[in-house]
Amino acid sequence: MGRGTTLTIPERAHVDLMVQLNMSISLMSARIHCSRTLNDCYMSDPVAYGTSKSTGRARKLKQRDERNVARAVSNTMNQSLEQYSCLLGFEEDQSARLASVLAGPEFNRKRLGHSAQMPSKPSGARFTRHTLENLSNSMPNRIFQVIQKNGGDTSY
């Protein structure tokens, strides 16, 4: 939506004169035949009236800072992926495969070649189904232990 017409220089002079005479905004608008908003904008800042205004909210970060944040987050995600793949028992070549699977299908096809090369489950899986069921069933008790011990060690 385009902007409306601004006050001409003679109209601005009339508004300045009427402000000095303490006339109301509605009376000024009636005499000059323009809107109250137009008069109000001129009276709020006569020097900056008619110049271009800011198009929106100021950015909190510059584009360079946004790129730096995105790069830092990406690096953090890669590091955490490496840490968790080691905790899950993946070997180095398997963690690279895990990263390629998570990266997307186009990268996956180039890197792995065929899905048969990918192992169905990690070779270093240390937990049996029974152990996992016991841990999940005892979760409420362990949560209360953590709360009572202020984050200290709990018995599994």
- Is the domain of 108 the same as that of 156? no
Contact 108, 101 (CB under 8 A): yes
Based on the fold, state whether residues 69 and 105 are members of the same structural domain.
yes
Task: Please tell me whether residues 110 and 148 are part of one structural domain.
Answer: no
Query: Rounded to an integer, what distance in angstroms lies between the CA atom of residue 66 and that of residue 74?
Result: 12
Q: Does the predicted model carry a pTM greater than 0.85?
A: no
Is the domain of 149 the same as that of 115? no
Q: Domain count for the chain, please give it.
A: 3
Q: What is the pLDDT of residues 90-115, one digit of tens each?
A: 555 555 655 655 665 554 444 444 55
| Residues 74 and 117 placed together within one structural domain of the fold | yes
Is there a domain that residue 54 lies in? Answer: no
Instruction: Please give the residue that has the higher pLDDT: either 155 or 79.
Output: 79
Is 56 domain-assigned?
no
Q: Give the domain range for residue 95.
A: 63-125
3-state helix, strand, coil in the chain (%, to 5): 60, 0, 40
In this structure, which amino acid lies at residue 95? S
